[in-house]
Copies of this chain bind each other. A is one copy, B any other.
Amino acid sequence: MNTPDNSPAFDRLFEAVASRGPVCVGLDTTVEYLPPRVRESYASPAEAILAYNSALIEATADYAACFKVQIAYYEELGLAGLRAYAETLRLVRSKGIVVIADIKRGDIADTASRYARAHLEGEFEADCVTLNPYMGLDSIEPWLAVAERRGKGLFALVRTSNPGMRDFEALELAKGGHVYDEVAQRVAGLSDRGRGRHGYGALGAVLGCTERQEAASLRQRLRGVFVLIPGYGAQGGAAEDAALLLDRHDGLGNGGVVNASRSILKAWSAAGLDPALTGLEEAAEAARAAACTMRDDLAAACAPGGAAK
C-alpha cells in the first residue's frame, strides 16, 4: 500500500495523463457484462464483480490514467455491493492510481458536508467524485472545503452526453447562453480554489463529447478546470470529439480524462470471444487491448496534425 498522497488530485491526475494518456477506465461493472464462465465461478454477484474489477485494474493500469467507479451498479446489490464498491476503491488507490467515484451527489449545506465526509474520507474514500450542481453553489461549497483540505478533486456536471441533456441543461437563458454555460462560468469562477502546480483547481467539470462545436466552445471557457469526458465508445463519442475537449500540453492532450466503460468491460464480447469459453484472464486481456487501442486513438487525435486541430 502506497502512503496516502495529499497533493491535489488533479496534479496527480495530470501527471498520470502525461505518462499514460487520458484513458479513464469505467468500472460500471455488472454480472451481465461478465462472461458466463466467470460469472458462474463465484458465489455471489458482488464477489464476481470484485474479482472482475481486480483483474481489469491489473490488466489495464498501464494504459489508464485513472479508474471511475459508478456507484449505482454497486448500490443495486445492496450492502454486499457497497462492500465490493469500497474494496474496488481501495484496490485502485493501493496502486497509487487516482479513483473517481461517480456518485453525482447534490444536496445542500449540512447534508453536502456529510456526503463529502462519506466519499472523500473513511470507508468509501475516493480521490475524486462527480457532483450534480442543480441546487446551486451551496451544494458544491462544502465539498470544496473538504477537497482543498484533503487534496481531492470534484467534477461538477456541466454538460452531459445523454439526449435528455436538451431538456434542462441546454435551455436558453434570457441573458444569453444556456444553463450549462452559466454552470460552466460559475465552475470556472471557482478554479482558483485548491489550484495545484499544473494550474487546475479542485473543482473540475463533466463535459460530454457528443457535440463537437458546442463542447469545444465550452472547453475554451473552462480555463484551469480539469474535465471528465464521458460518452466515448459505447455512447457514440469518437477520439476526435474527446480530443477537442483536452488542453494541449507539449503536443499531448491533458487537463482531462476520457471515460469508457462498457467498451472496455465488455471488450471480450466485442472481440468475438466465445462466451462459453472466456475466462477471467481472456476477458482481462481483451480489456487491456481495448484500453491500449483507446489510448493510441486519443494520442493520434491529440497529436499535431491529428484529427482534432
Known: A173-B171, A179-B179, A182-B171. A137 touches B115 (CB 8 A): no
Does A138 lie within 8 Å of B114, measured CB to CB? no
- Selected contact of A171 from candidates B117, B164, B179, CB within 8 Å: B179
A157: chain B residues at CB < 8 Å are 134-135
Q: Which residue of B lies closest to A30 (CB)?
A: B114
Question: Is A90 interfacial (CB-CB < 8 Å)?
Answer: no
The quantity of this chain's copies bound in the complex is 2
- Selected contact of A118 from candidates B72, B112, B139, CB within 8 Å: B72
Does A72 lie within 8 Å of B107, measured CB to CB? yes
Question: Is A272 interfacial (CB-CB < 8 Å)?
Answer: no
Number of residues from A at the complex interface, CB < 8 A = 56
A132: chain B residues at CB < 8 Å are 104, 106, 132, 134-135
- Selected contact of A75 from candidates B77, B119, B172, B183, CB within 8 Å: B119
Per-residue interface assignment for chain A, residues 110 to 152, with 1 indicating a CB less than 8 Å from any chain B CB and 0 otherwise: 0110110111001110000000111111110000000000000
Does A72 lie within 8 Å of B165, measured CB to CB? no
Does B75 lie within 8 Å of A134, measured CB to CB? no
Q: Which residue of B lies closest to A85 (CB)?
A: B79
A117: chain B residues at CB < 8 Å are 76
Question: Is A160 interfacial (CB-CB < 8 Å)?
Answer: yes
Write 17 A-B pairs (CB below 8 A) sorted by A numbering. Answer: A72-B105, A72-B114, A75-B115, A78-B122, A79-B123, A104-B107, A108-B164, A133-B168, A135-B160, A135-B164, A136-B165, A136-B166, A136-B167, A136-B168, A136-B169, A167-B182, A171-B182
Across the A-B interface, give the 7 residue pairs with the lowest CB-CB distance, nearest first: A136-B164, A78-B123, A138-B164, A136-B167, A75-B118, A172-B174, A134-B134
